[in-house]
Structure 1
Amino acid sequence: MKKSILRIVLLAILILASSSSFAQEKEFPYKWPADPLVNKNLKQWQDWKFGVIIHWGPYSQWGVVESWSLCPEDEDWCIRRGPHAQSYEEYKKAYENIRTVFNPVQFNPQKWAAAAKNAGMKYVVFTTKHHDGFCMYDSKYTDYKITDKGSVFSKNPKSNIAKEVFTAFRNQGLGVGAYFSKPDWHSENYWWPYFPPLDRNVNYDPAKYPDRWKNFQQYTYNQLEELTLDYGKLDILWLDGGQVRPAESLTEETKAWLGKKRWIQDVNMKRIAEMARKNQPGILMVDRTVHGDFENYRTPEQQIPTIVPAYPWESCITLGDSWYSTGPNERYKSVNWAIHTLIEIVAKGGNLLLGVGPDKSGDLVPEVYERLKGIGAWMEINNEGIYATEPISPYQVDKWRFTKSKQNNYAYAFYLADEKESTIPTEINLPAIQPSNNSAIHLLGYDKPLKWKKGTKGTLITVPTQAIAKLKGQPAWTFRVTVNATKQN
């Protein structure tokens, strides 16, 4: 009796959860781009599957969280540390002076780009400007930038950092995206010096001071115009700061981001998008969390959806504790974790945007290069089950994840090995995918087809000892099923 009641309760919870998810998706449906070129580029981007997002700015000199220690909110990620922490005004002044000592002479974007390509990554998103307003490029509209004479690194021939990064990754044949923060905590038209900052939001009412807000709209437009005009081909504009949005786009979650004042901060994305696509035809716009015309794909942060979304998406997840290398105490996840995370995301139809960043020296730390090398070694053998694939039901069963090629009749089954599981069993049961009688099954990395037979709970595959020895220590093993692979009934 108790078990029956428990089943009923669990069923009711599942129904409520499903109806809630459906209601939210119905309220804010995904809008496919109307522009044919944007649609084409979006489909290409969906096939890339794996990219890198690089956070970097003068904050790396102190090893503090990017920008957020300037934000006067009582949140764990906004805590100020160091000798200036007790006075907000003193801290802000010291933070803005970091550029006088931030001198990353080991900056070598060609080395980053080569490591990313060798890891199997297909695109980069780089922070041209974070919330603190400091430009990592040569903006004509502010002197708070890496190329200004007030920045010690301005004398370096590579001082236009964003341009150097974009060129290096482009030269490796990788796609290029510009991260840009819509809020700008240095701009006098966002945080007006007449008032103290209240939280992450604008510190005056844009409706009461419309001219000041129009100045900020134009400033944002101007900076994005120069990025789309002067920095070569861009594939993606990746816009952060979801509190800066029109009123009609607000959700219950994003209303909370507006703080107590609830001032609406509309930067006129329609005008920005028209300009950006005039300068860069077909560019993908990613106005994060603002569902509608300018969110060409969605970007869950530090998480993977539990179900297969019905829209293009990308999980942005850090390799370390932070978005960049903060110092000697930064902890990095394993190669196994990275491979399993990539497979999990791809099996649900998404892309992984892996978050890394250099330290104050200007170079990625050895742990990052080591992880990228390990990911690349696995991708060199198994990438055909990753790129240009789509989800195939049932997506996952126990340790197995599944994809299907868009280009031919291959299904891929990934067996996710435990950290201590270094070898493939000599006989392994493949669930869910039911091969037809004339199908061939291959283990990627081993040339010869494998023997198999139908079992009571799936397909029993015999793995030769040569294959076991050759692929020892892999984070995951990939089986390719050819001909007519269909879901098992």
Structure 2
Amino acid sequence: MAMQKWFGEARLGIFVHWGIYAVDGVAESWAFYDGTVTHEQYMNQLHGFTASRYDPHAWAELFARAGAGYAVLTAKHHDGVALFDTRHSDLSVVRRTPAGRDLVAGYADALRERGLKVGLYFSHSDWSHPDYATVRHPAPQEVPVNDSRFSTPPEGREDPARWDRYLDFRAAQVREVAELFRPDLLWFDGEWERSEEQWQMDALARDVVSLLPETVLNARLTGHGDYATPEQGLPVEPPEGPWELCLTVNDSWGHQHTDDNHKSVGQLVRCFTETIGMGGNLLLAVGPREDGTIPQAQADRLLGLGTWITRHAEAVHGTVAGLPPGHHYGPSTLSADGRTLYLVCFGTPHETVSVRGLSTPVKRVTVLGNGDVLAHRVTGGLGHVPGVLWIDAPTGGQVDPHATVLAVELDADLDVYRGRGRQ
């Protein structure tokens, strides 16, 4: 596999966890796995899943206005319920719910019409399949959550033949997703429950690449993915290579009726800029209701983030990670040609904004979004150790309510000093 250029340029994706769990507002799949409800109670939600107001074109429009370049929809979560018309199981919203139709096809078509890349989530694990809980992880102590009858057989009751049958089933469904929807990105999950060898990841990867040679794959296709997927917390040190932070708008992946702990637009802007400042993408999760509508509180936050991105698009698209930590009190990005540094300033800067260790001379500093020029000067410096760049702080209408961006035009390629000075 080779990482596709579009992924690094997208910067923002929308993660859509949609399934029968939205009916009662319980945790997706985990609600029965951890015993919050019985499996029977969980599956009873099939009768209430209608998708009656599902409008994939409205989703695509919202995602585009949020500034996203792609979205990822849960084609099949750990509960085994497929949102597409699978031939290999009757456990789908097509056959078992009032929705009665394939919900993935319309999503894929609508995104492509709007110019967005199509991502689909698929879980290796299937806690409802009769052949799934038939072998144990070779090192179960490493993943304590595996101790469940839905994923692990009793001691001494392993059945490798049934496990091989499950692997055939999984491979068949992955091929269905590949052939039916030709996704630009396949987002695997559930890999922690078995070893790479048990999952036969080599064979699965060969199969996927033969069908979708240009599709981006996440690292949960263990040993074969194109990028890393930390979730729910920005890493202090970014992963090596391409990566994506998976983050919920509130505290839940799917729709939970009582979860109103939504992050503010300002907090989302902060998470987004800190992520792209370290070279990653943000995959921001929303949870539609069972009828297919995205809660207004979540839509409003996507639109708020999109407004900020539109105003500061120059610092977002076509940029790479900016200054290493310690040079500026905030994230930054760098233009592809290495000649413009974008400094993100949270809150209202006072007096000056400073940059340490910048060796490249500065030609001009402007406020991104309105073009106002800010005075700047350098103090100190000794030999090869640069002085401190001081930029007059933006004031009044120059200050963005969420994050102000200063465009620092450089006289040459960016060069920063990382030494310790004269000892």
Q: What TM-score bracket applies, with the shorter chain setting the length?
A: 0.7 to 0.9
State whether structure 2 residue 195 is matched by structure 1 residue 246: yes
Report SS of the residue matched to 1:44: helix
Alpha carbons of 1:357 and 1:464: their partners in 2 closer, same or farther (altered >3 Å)? closer
Per-residue CA deviations over 1:36-79 (Å, capped at 9, x if unaligned) read: xx24x1x43122221111101001000000010121xxxxxx35
Q: 2: distance between equivalents of 1:210 and 1:394?
A: 49
Q: 1: distance between equivalents of 2:93 and 2:103?
A: 8
Which amino acid counterpart does residue 191 of structure 2 have in structure 1?
G
The residue that corresponds to 2:406 in the other structure is: 479
Alpha carbons of 1:247 and 1:374: their partners in 2 closer, same or farther (altered >3 Å)? closer
Which amino acid counterpart does residue 214 of structure 1 have in structure 2?
D
Q: Please list, as runs of the form range in 1=range in 2, the aligned pairs for 1:157-172 lying within 5 A after superposition.
A: 159-172=101-114
User: Which TM-score applies when normalising by structure 2?
Assistant: 0.87
Q: 1: distance between equivalents of 2:271 and 2:390?
A: 26
State whether structure 2 residue 204 is matched by structure 1 residue 272: yes
Report SS of the residue matched to 2:93: coil
Report SS of the residue matched to 2:7: helix
Q: Which runs of 5+ in 1 are unaligned?
A: 1-34, 72-77, 86-90, 249-265
Report SS of the residue matched to 2:166: helix
Which amino acid counterpart does residue 352 of structure 2 have in structure 1?
I
* Match 1:62 to one of 6, 18, 24: 24
Q: Which moved more, 1:102-111 or 1:212-221?
A: 102-111
Q: CA deviation at 1:330?
A: 2.5
State whether structure 2 residue 309 is matched by structure 1 residue 379: yes
The residue that corresponds to 2:318 in the other structure is: 388
Q: Answer yes or no: is the 8 Å Cα contact 2:8–2:281 preserved in 1.
A: yes
Alpha carbons of 1:415 and 1:362: their partners in 2 closer, same or farther (altered >3 Å)? same
The residue that corresponds to 1:152 in the other structure is: 98
Q: Please list, as runs of the form range in 1=range in 2, the aligned pairs for 1:21-100 lying within 5 A after superposition.
A: 35=1, 38-39=2-3, 41=4, 43-71=5-33, 78-80=34-36, 85=37, 91-100=38-47
Q: 2: distance between equivalents of 1:276 and 1:244?
A: 21
Q: 2: distance between equivalents of 1:79 and 1:396?
A: 46
Q: 1: distance between equivalents of 2:157 and 2:226?
A: 29
Q: Please list, as runs of the form range in 1=range in 2, the aligned pairs for 1:102-117 lying within 5 A after superposition.
A: 102-117=49-64
Which amino acid counterpart does residue 459 of structure 1 have in structure 2?
L
Q: Answer yes or no: is the 8 Å Cα contact 2:362–2:408 preserved in 1.
A: no
* Match 1:404 to one of 321, 334, 353: 334
Q: CA deviation at 1:434?
A: 3.3
Which amino acid counterpart does residue 443 of structure 1 have in structure 2?
V
Which amino acid counterpart does residue 111 of structure 2 have in structure 1?
F
Q: 2: distance between equivalents of 1:473 and 1:311?
A: 31
The residue that corresponds to 1:142 in the other structure is: 89
Alpha carbons of 1:289 and 1:239: their partners in 2 closer, same or farther (altered >3 Å)? closer
The residue that corresponds to 1:446 in the other structure is: 370
Q: 2: distance between equivalents of 1:352 and 1:206?
A: 43
Q: CA deviation at 1:397?
A: 5.0
Which amino acid counterpart does residue 452 of structure 1 have in structure 2?
H
Alpha carbons of 1:205 and 1:296: their partners in 2 closer, same or farther (altered >3 Å)? farther
Q: Please list, as runs of the form range in 1=range in 2, the aligned pairs for 1:212-231 lying within 5 A after superposition.
A: 212-231=162-181
Q: CA deviation at 1:242?
A: 2.2
Q: 2: distance between equivalents of 1:416 and 1:103?
A: 43
State whether structure 2 residue 354 is matched by structure 1 residue 430: yes
Which amino acid counterpart does residue 13 of structure 2 have in structure 1?
G
Q: Answer yes or no: is the 8 Å Cα contact 1:236–1:285 preserved in 2.
A: yes
Q: 2: distance between equivalents of 1:204 and 1:226?
A: 32
Q: 2: distance between equivalents of 1:164 and 1:449?
A: 47
The residue that corresponds to 1:343 in the other structure is: 273
Per-residue CA deviations over 1:240-287 (Å, capped at 9, x if unaligned) read: 112244366xxxxxxxxxxxxxxxxx2322222222222212212224
Percent identity between the aligned chains?
Answer: 27
Q: 2: distance between equivalents of 1:405 and 1:446?
A: 18
Aligned length: 398
User: Which TM-score applies when normalising by structure 1?
Assistant: 0.76
Alpha carbons of 1:337 and 1:211: their partners in 2 closer, same or farther (altered >3 Å)? same
Alpha carbons of 1:281 and 1:436: their partners in 2 closer, same or farther (altered >3 Å)? closer
Alpha carbons of 1:443 and 1:181: their partners in 2 closer, same or farther (altered >3 Å)? same
CA RMSD of aligned residues (A): 2.4
Which amino acid counterpart does residue 66 of structure 1 have in structure 2?
E
The residue that corresponds to 2:227 in the other structure is: 297
Per-residue CA deviations over 1:414-438 (Å, capped at 9, x if unaligned) read: 1122xxx4xx54x422223637556
Q: CA deviation at 1:373?
A: 1.2
Which amino acid counterpart does residue 269 of structure 2 have in structure 1?
I
Report SS of the residue matched to 1:230: helix
Q: CA deviation at 1:325?
A: 2.7
Q: Which runs of 5+ in 2 are unaligned?
A: 135-146, 381-386, 419-423
Q: CA deviation at 1:96?
A: 1.6
Report SS of the residue matched to 1:229: helix
The residue that corresponds to 1:259 in the other structure is: none
Q: 1: distance between equivalents of 2:282 and 2:361?
A: 35
Alpha carbons of 1:267 and 1:310: their partners in 2 closer, same or farther (altered >3 Å)? closer
Alpha carbons of 1:403 and 1:69: their partners in 2 closer, same or farther (altered >3 Å)? same
Q: Answer yes or no: is the 8 Å Cα contact 2:328–2:355 preserved in 1.
A: no
Report SS of the residue matched to 1:303: coil
Which amino acid counterpart does residue 60 of structure 1 have in structure 2?
A
